[in-house]
Amino acid sequence: MFSDAVISATVDVLAGLAGDGRALELAIGTGRIAVPLARRGVQVHGIDLSKAMVARLRAKPGSEPIGVTMGDFSVTRVEGSFSLVYLVFNTIMNLTTQDAQVACFRNAAAHLEPGGCFLIEVEIPGLRRLPPGQDAVPFEVSDSAYSFDWVDPATQASSSNYFTRRPDGTWDFYTIPFRYVWPAELDLMARLAGLRLRDRWSDWSREPFTSESAKHISVWEKP
């Protein structure tokens, strides 16, 4: 996600969608995307809940023109309208209830001018990778670390879980909760917010979305 190629391809798509208008990033974080997008001449504003992450954004050269509003990106409003609202790298899943995800779509739509777009980048739930009868998939296994994703297909709750060995041989543990969501469910959330699907790709190079895609980048438009 931090490679120059990925960031460049992401910014190319976002700058094209923003055009001459303003862009609003939900969960702007450290400015991984917002700073290079602003350098492309797009006026960027962001919403985020973490003061620590926004402090890292503010430490980056080129962040000066970027406005930030502190708050929950699913409900926090900022002044003005935007030609693009975007939410990248699975962040929609940080909203751990369906109600919160629906609220996010409505909040995005409320910020869009007519003809504006809401873009989301999110993975496809990896249920096919689950071993039969199991609900967890390891993705890092070593002498010093053990990490796995856990999913509950009944509730769409999921989490990423990390064990890290300390020098004294004890282990640290932390978990990050998510709610995974299918493309069709996102499309319905968009309809509830008055948006319609415009494009769906499997990556930032706009490759077609297929049944084998590991993620999707979807764009919904406000009529």
Taking the domains of the chain in order of start, what are their residue ranges?
4-125+181-221, 127-178
Q: Tell me: the pLDDT tens digits for 161-187? A: 999 999 999 999 999 999 999 999 999
| pLDDT value for 207 | 97
Instruction: Enter the CATH code of domain 4-125+181-221.
Output: 3.40.50.150
HSE value, Cβ hemisphere, 13 Å, CA-based, for 150:
11
| Local confidence band at 8 (pLDDT 50, 70, 90 cut-offs) | very high
Encoded tokens for 78: 């900022």
Check whether 2 has a pLDDT greater than 80.
Answer: no
SS3 content of the chain, % helix, strand, coil (to 5): 25, 35, 40
pLDDT, the chain, mean: 96
How confident is the model at residue 220, as a pLDDT? Answer: 98
CATH classification of 127-178 is 2.20.25, yes or no? yes
Residue 54 to residue 51: CA distance in whole angstroms: 5
Structure confidence by residue, pLDDT tens digits, 16-56: 999 999 999 999 999 999 999 999 999 999 999 999 999 99
Q: How far is CA 9 from CA 16, 71, 117, 155, in A?
A: 11, 28, 18, 34
